[in-house]
Amino acid sequence: MTREDAVQAEQSNGILVLTVSRPQALNALNRRILAELRSRLLQAERDDAVRVTVITGEGGKAFAAGADIGEFMDLADEQAGREYARHGQEIFAMIASLTKPVIAAINGYALGGGLELALACDIRCASERATFGFPEATLGILPGFGGIERAARLIGRSASLQLMLTGMPIDAAEALRLGLVDRVVAHDGLMREVLALAARMAEQPPAALAAIKECLGRGMEAEAALFGRLVVSDEARSRCRAFLEKRRR
């Protein structure tokens, strides 16, 4: 871990914490950070020692204040802009499709691409100081990393359009009310809360967690098939047997 690392990684007890580390730009997501997030998450997916990943931002001020607006100016033509968005979409879709849980620990601004990153995670916990919003329209653009669809699915069409069509920020209490985040906690207690949640998930068998995530959006057929596969597994047999034996004692 060095000062220049754009994404710092710390791992213990099956929990990997990835910290977007560019505080001087409020952790704005530039190409390098996106590439590092991608490679670290793909590595975590392959590493049996990682059970749960937490994504957060360095410093007390921002989770990520958006995609890097400076990089937009380097996009020479429509084609370059489209490819830029496709690239971000692919990375965030990869995050959303990981078999292991990913929790966003939102410690400050989650704006634009930063909010899209949080939306690609499975669960969102926020500091009471966090601020949320989609300011893209105020820049004459739109959320291009999959956030339009993800926000609408999570909080509904009109609530997400309200955020996107006005560009107005909302506070953590309002984000909780809308269902944009799952928990809001005192700023200083955020990581403690998130790590406790992650630890609880890390205790569960990875195959069960992966199957539950896989079922989402795939309907009852997939649910039955994956239930069938899990219920006869050694892991499930031994856990169910342990439960029954404890009851008998």
User: Which lies closer to ligand COA via its Cβ, residue 111 or residue 195?
Assistant: 111
CB-based contacts of 76, cutoff 8 Å, min separation 6: none
The one catalytic residue in 116, 128, 203, 223 is: 116
Per CB under 6 A, residues contacting ligand COA are 25-26, 28, 65-70, 109, 111-113, 135-136, 139
Please tell me which residue in 136, 149, 174, 223 is annotated as part of the active site.
136
Helix, strand and coil content of the chain, in percent to the nearest 5, comes to 55, 20, 30
Provide the minimum distance between the beta carbon of 26 and ligand COA in the complex, in angstroms, as a whole number. 4
Tell me which residue of 230, 198, 211 sits closest to 101, measured CA to CA: 198
What contacts 37, CB < 8 A, 6 or more positions away?
A: 7, 18, 20, 29, 55, 91, 95, 117
In the complex, least distance from residue 135 CB atom to ligand COA, rounded to whole angstroms: 4
Please say whether the beta carbons of 67 and 27 come within 8 A.
no
Q: At what angle do helices 234-248 and 219-231 cross, to 10 degrees?
A: 70
Task: Give 52 or 151: the residue with its C-beta nearer to ligand COA.
Answer: 151
Half-sphere exposure of 231 (CA within 13 A, CB side): 6
Query: Smallest gap, in angstroms, from Cβ of residue 109 to ligand COA?
Result: 5
Q: Name the amino acid, one letter, at 240.
A: C
In the annotation, is 71 catalytic? Answer: no
Torsions phi, psi of 130, nearest 5?
A: -70, 155
* Residue 111 or 178 having the CB closest to ligand COA: 111
Known catalytic membership, residue 136: yes
How crowded is residue 70: how many other Cβ atoms within 10 Å of its Cβ? 10
Quick one: 70 or 156, whose CB is closer to ligand COA?
A: 70
Beta carbon of residue 28, minimum distance to ligand COA (angstroms, whole number): 3
What are the φ/ψ torsions at residue 59 (nearest 5 degrees)? Answer: 85, 170
Cβ nearer to ligand COA, comparing 104 with 209: 104
Active site residues: 116, 136
